[in-house]
Chain A
Amino acid sequence: MNEAIKLEYTISDDDFTRAGEASGDLKDKLKKMGVDPAVIRKVVIAMYEGEINMVIHANGGKITVTITTDEIIMELADKGPGIPDVKLAMQEGFSTAPDNIRSLGFGAGMGLPNMKKYSDEMTVETQQGVGTTVTMKVKL
């Protein structure tokens, strides 16, 4: 693989049942490329949590995945309300998800912590009222 491969996914705004389609598609593609299954698992879990977050909190958004010879970069960009306190949001158990989301099995305050746990590098750029971009890198 000499040149970077770029994949783009649009995450729909409020269709919770479809959340995870992009991560499932990426998993299939990485498998076909012969990427190490342990790396695939890290990538897709991190991205799936991100996808769920985008649907719950940000009315969807766009995910760009770049696959190079030595890493996979996922950029999750939304135009949601932004995160007022990133440090607080990174704490396991802290959640602002509504009750209807909890009844669907999410909103336990593990989303961002899991994304950090499964990526080798993660940055969060956020501005209230403008949106949030989370960039995660997983080494190949």
Chain B
Amino acid sequence: MTVNDIKELLDAKVLCCEEFLSNEVHTACGSDMMSDVLAFVKDQSVLITGLCNPQVIRTAEMMDITCIVFVRGKVPDEMTLQLAKERNMPVLSTARKMFEACGILYTNGLSGGKEN
């Protein structure tokens, strides 16, 4: 699945880094707790979250996450988006709730990955 596939499946808006929509995503992680995200390394993951602050971008950066999807129509502030742009991190926003967004991606083939 590509970042663009996620955009289409979740009817999401691209908030930055549109040039990376063809990047491949293999696994997904849905959480509002960044400490939990940091506990499990996965390859080429999408992070689905309702948390909206710069630490989401930092966490994604440390984890080599491929893209971030903000649920419930959330849009981060300009500072957070600027950080995402600097780190070449595609950021999407969907009106879907966390449970729905995760369910749609799961039924379309994304897994949670293996625990490390």
Seen from chain A, the residues whose Cβ lies within 8 Å of a Cβ on chain B are 16-17, 19-20, 23-24, 27, 37, 41, 44-45, 48-49, 52, 104-111, 113-114, 117
- Judge whether A41 and B35 touch: CB under 8 Å: no
Query: Which secondary structure dominates chain A's binding surface?
Result: helix
Given contacts A17-B79, A111-B35, A113-B39, 15 further A-B contacts (CB under 8 A): A20-B59, A20-B62, A23-B58, A41-B41, A41-B62, A41-B64, A45-B62, A45-B63, A105-B56, A106-B33, A106-B34, A106-B35, A107-B35, A110-B38, A117-B39
Chain A positions within 8 Å of B56 at CB level: 105
B53 contacts chain A at the CB level, 8 A cutoff: yes
Q: How far is the CB of A4 from chain B (nearest CB, A)?
A: 24
How near does chain A come to B80, taking the closest CB pair, in angstroms? 9
Interface of B is mostly: helix
Interface 0/1 of B36-66, CB less than 8 Å to A: 1011010000000001011110110111100
Contact of A104 with B62 at beta-carbon distance under 8 Å, contacts A41-B41, A117-B39 already known: no
Cβ distance A57 to chain B, nearest Cβ, rounded Å:
14
Residue-wise, chain B 64-81 has the 8 Å CB interface mask toward A (1 for contact) of 100000000000000100
B18 located at the interface, meaning its Cβ lies under 8 Å from any Cβ of chain A in the complex = no
**Set of chain A residues within 8 Å of B38, measured between Cβ atoms:** 45, 48-49, 110, 114
Contacts of A24 in B (CB 8 A): 58, 61-62, 87
Given A41-B62, A41-B63, A44-B62; A16-B35 close (CB under 8 Å): no
